[in-house]
Structure formats: structure tokens, C-alpha cells
Amino acid sequence: MYEDMVTARLYEERLQEEYMEGKRPGFDISAGDIPGELHLAAGQEAAAVGVCHHLRDDDTVTAPHRPHHVAIAKGVDLKRMTAEIFGRETGLCHGKGGHMHLFDPDVNFACSGIIAQGCPPAVGAGMAAKKRNTDSVAVAYLGEGAIDQGGFLESLNMASVHDLPVVFVIEDNDWAISMPKERVTSPQDGSARADGFDMHGVRVDSDDARAVYEAGAEAVGRARDGNGPTVLEVQVHRRMGHFMGDPETYRPEEDQERAAERDSIERLAADMREFGIDDEELEEIRDRAAERVDEAVTWAKQQPLPEPEAAHDHVFTNPPSGVTDEEPEFSDAGAAAGGDD
């Protein structure tokens, strides 16, 4: 658990550096090796590992726009995930999805960048497990800002009324971009949403990985044993801006400081020391994680970019007749230009 948390943290720090490559001077979101938006999750690791460490490959996880820590905890292929973030051909989604839309069928991991819209598919995965009489479970991750979305509330009802093996994990980092939850959400406690749907709700009030692990064991166990869904809310702290490039002018200084102080990784390390794990061992874990991150990033950056024509593949699994993978004539105008016409 500690190793995954450290891997996720180092990964985010490395991506933060890589992202800025080619974007300066003057920040240009469309420049550099990793373009598009990048939402980092440093500070939220406890919520990811505390639950995902109870999961198997055949359990489903749906993640939102801030997915890396959850993906790492679920065992998504780190190299191919990194290649995807760099837009490379050998990335998890062949460069089609990018950082907010990571899909790894080997460990049943999927994402959506539309708020709360990972919830209904998690309900579907739970439904499939129940119909097939397997004991796999589904976990939908979402932010505290997402609990105001219809897709979440409708999913709660559906999961509850059909008694489905689904766990909804709310990562409460207090902010939805610039909007603090006091201003947009009532009531504040996301786990209390469960009451209205006659299901279990529990809130872990601190980003303490061990406490999340215990709560996660109960929620996942309940789902696995056929005893229905749970809403599990975890207080976490967003260390970075909402996305890279966020000026964060809306955020009070104290809030940033608090996020830096309340570090779930340091907290877990302290606990481990108490259990007799010495600094040398912790350092070894850290080194292993750093090496893994470095390997993934180095590998990813050596991967080829996709060919432009590849944009036309994968629109369908089974292309209907009349649809071909051939590029329409007009779109290679760019390539043809400058020729002899």
C-alpha cells in the first residue's frame, strides 16, 4: 500500500515536470510533449490505495478526470498508461484517450472526463456480476463536487434497489475547481447521501490510509458477499491546483498550507516506523517506486507517435458497410499541399 502511494506521488511529481517541458515561457496549454489538461492527484493517494487494495483484476473501477493514483492502485499497466498520457501509439488507448480517458481491460479500469458519469457504468458492471453469479465488485470514484450530479444520485438508487455489488468512493478534497463545497453542496457530508437511498454510508474524516483500508475492507466485503452497495467518503487534500496552469487565485493560502501539512504518505510512514519498519526499508521502497516511475516515463517517451490516419481506426468495433478505415480525400490535403498541384 505504501509503495503504491509513493509511486503515485512520485509519478505525479514527475508528470508535473514533464508537462511543463516545452510550455514555457508564458504557459501554453497546447504546447509540449503532454498537451491538453492535466489533473494531478498528489495528496489523494490514501483514498485510492485504501479501497483498491481489496480489489482483484476482475473487479471493475471507473475513475473520473483525476485518475492516475486510482489507476496505479488498481494495477493499470504503468508504462502503457504513461505512453497514453504522452499520446503515443503504444499507449493504453493508442493515443485516442489521453490522461482523462484511460482504459485498461486487463484490470477492468475505465475513465470518464464528464463529472459523475463513471457511476452508471459501475452500476452496470455490478449488475453484470450479479446476473452472472460471480463475486466481483465495481467501484466508482468521484469527487465531492460530483455528488451534486444526477448521474450519481440516480446510480445510488439503482444500486440500492437492485442490491448491487457497487462501492461509490467520494474523494472529498473540499474543492470543485474554484468552488468550495460550502457554496455549492448541501448537505456537506457526501456519505449522508446514502441515507436517502437506504444504503450504507461511511465517512473517513482524515486521509489516513489505514482507516480507509479498514473502511474499504468493509465496503468491498459487503459488496462481494452480496450485501449491497456502500457510499464511502474520504477526506483528502489537493496539494496542487485543479489542473496544471490553474492560477489558484481563488484559494486561500491557509488551505494550500493545510494540504501540504496533512500528508497521508508521511502519516503512513510514521505508522510504519512505529510498527518497527526502519528508515532504510522505507527508503528502499521509495527507490523502487522512483525507478518504476522513471522506467515508465523513459519508455513512454521512446514510443512512436501515432500516424495521423490512425485517427480513423476504432470508431466502430465492427465497421458497418460503407464505413471504411480509409481517410476521406479532404483530410490529407495538408500532406498533399506543397506538392506539384
Partner 1 sequence: MSSQEQQQTGRTATMSDAMVEAIASEMRADEEVFYMGEDVADYGGIFDSTTGLLDEFGRDRVMDVPISETAYLGAAVGAAQAGMRPIAELMFVDFFGVAMDQIYNQMAKNTYMSGGSFSVPMVLTTAVGGTYNDAAQHSQTLYGTFAHLPGMKVVVPSTAYDAKGLMHNAIRDDDPVVYMFHKRLMGIGWMPAPDGPKTPVPEEEYTIPFGKADVKREGDDVTVVTLGLHVHRALEAAETLADEGIDAEVIDLRTLKPLDRETVVESVRKTGSLVVVDEDYQSYGVTGEIISSVAESDIEALEAVERVAVPDVPIPYSRPMENAVIPGAEDVAEAVRSVGE
Ligand X SMILES: Cc1ncc(C[n+]2csc(CCOP(=O)(O)OP(=O)(O)O)c2C)c(N)n1
Where do contacts with ligand X occur on this chain (CB under 6 A)? Answer: 65-66, 113-115, 142-146, 173, 175-177, 242
Q: How far from 178 is each of 145, 174, 182, 205, 248, CA to CA, in Å?
A: 11, 10, 12, 22, 8
- The residues in 113-152 that bind partner 1, with binding defined as CB under 8 A, are 113-117, 145-146, 148-151
Q: Which of 138, 176, 150, 139 is nearest to 39 (CA)?
A: 176
Q: Which of 228, 178, 234, 186 is nearest to 210 (CA)?
A: 234
Dist CA 118 CA 228 (whole Å): 18
Q: Closer to partner 1 at the Cβ: 135 or 148? A: 148
**8 Å CB contact between 81 and 71:** yes
- The residues in 164-183 that bind partner 1, with binding defined as CB under 8 A, are 176-179, 183
SS3 breakdown of the chain: % helix, strand, coil, rounded to 5? Answer: 45, 10, 45
- The residues in 263-322 that bind partner 1, with binding defined as CB under 8 A, are 305-312, 315
Site string for partner 1, 68-107 (x = CB under 8 A): ----------------x--xxx-x-x-xxxx-xx------
Q: Closer to partner 1 at the Cβ: 277 or 310? A: 310
**Closest distance of CB 90 from ligand X, Å:** 27
Dist CA 97 CA 112 (whole Å): 10
Q: Which partner from the list partner 1, ligand X, none does 173 bind, CB cut-off 5 to 8 Å by kind? A: ligand X
Q: Is 337 in the site for partner 1 (CB under 8 A)?
A: yes
Dist CA 13 CA 279 (whole Å): 22
DSSP assigned state of 4: H
Q: Which partner from the list ligand X, partner 1, none does 175 bind, CB cut-off 5 to 8 Å by kind? A: ligand X
Secondary element (H or E) of residue 62: strand 60-63
Q: Closer to partner 1 at the Cβ: 34 or 137? A: 34
Question: Which residue is closest to ligand X by CB?
Answer: 143
- Give me the residues that bind partner 1 (CB under 8 A), please: 26-30, 35-37, 84, 87-89, 91, 93, 95-98, 100-101, 112-117, 145-146, 148-151, 176-179, 183-185, 245, 249-250, 305-312, 315, 327-328, 330-331, 333-334, 336-337, 341
